[in-house]
Amino acid sequence: MAGRRMLLRIAPFVLGIMAARVWLRRREARRRALPAAPEAPQIEPARRFGREPIDIVTVVDDLLLAGR
C-alpha cells in the first residue's frame, strides 16, 4: 500500500517533468526551423518629424492666454 501511495504522490511531478521535456523539444525544433531574418530595409523618417522643434513654454503661454 505504501508503494502505491508514494507513486501517486510522485506522479504529478513526473508528469510535469515529462511535459516540460516535450515542450522544450518542440520549442527547440521550431527555433531550428526558422529561417534567418533578412535585414530590415532603411526607412526614411516622416517629413512631419523633420520640422523644427517648438518651444513648449510658448505653446503653454499661448494656451493660457487664449482662455482669458
Backbone CA torsion sign across 14, 19, 20, 22 = positive
pLDDT of residue 60: 87
Three-state DSSP class for 3?
helix
Q: How many domains does the chain have?
A: 1
Distance CA 8, CA 33 (A): 38
Q: What is the DSSP letter of 51?
A: S
Assess whether pLDDT exceeds 80 at residue 63: yes
Output the CA torsion sign for 55, 60, 66, 68. Answer: negative
Q: Is there a domain that residue 29 lies in?
A: yes
Per-residue model confidence as pLDDT tens digits over 11-52 = 999 999 999 999 999 888 777 766 666 777 777 766 766 667
Q: Does residue 62 form part of some domain?
A: no
Domain that holds residue 25: 1-34
Q: Does residue 23 lie in a domain region? A: yes
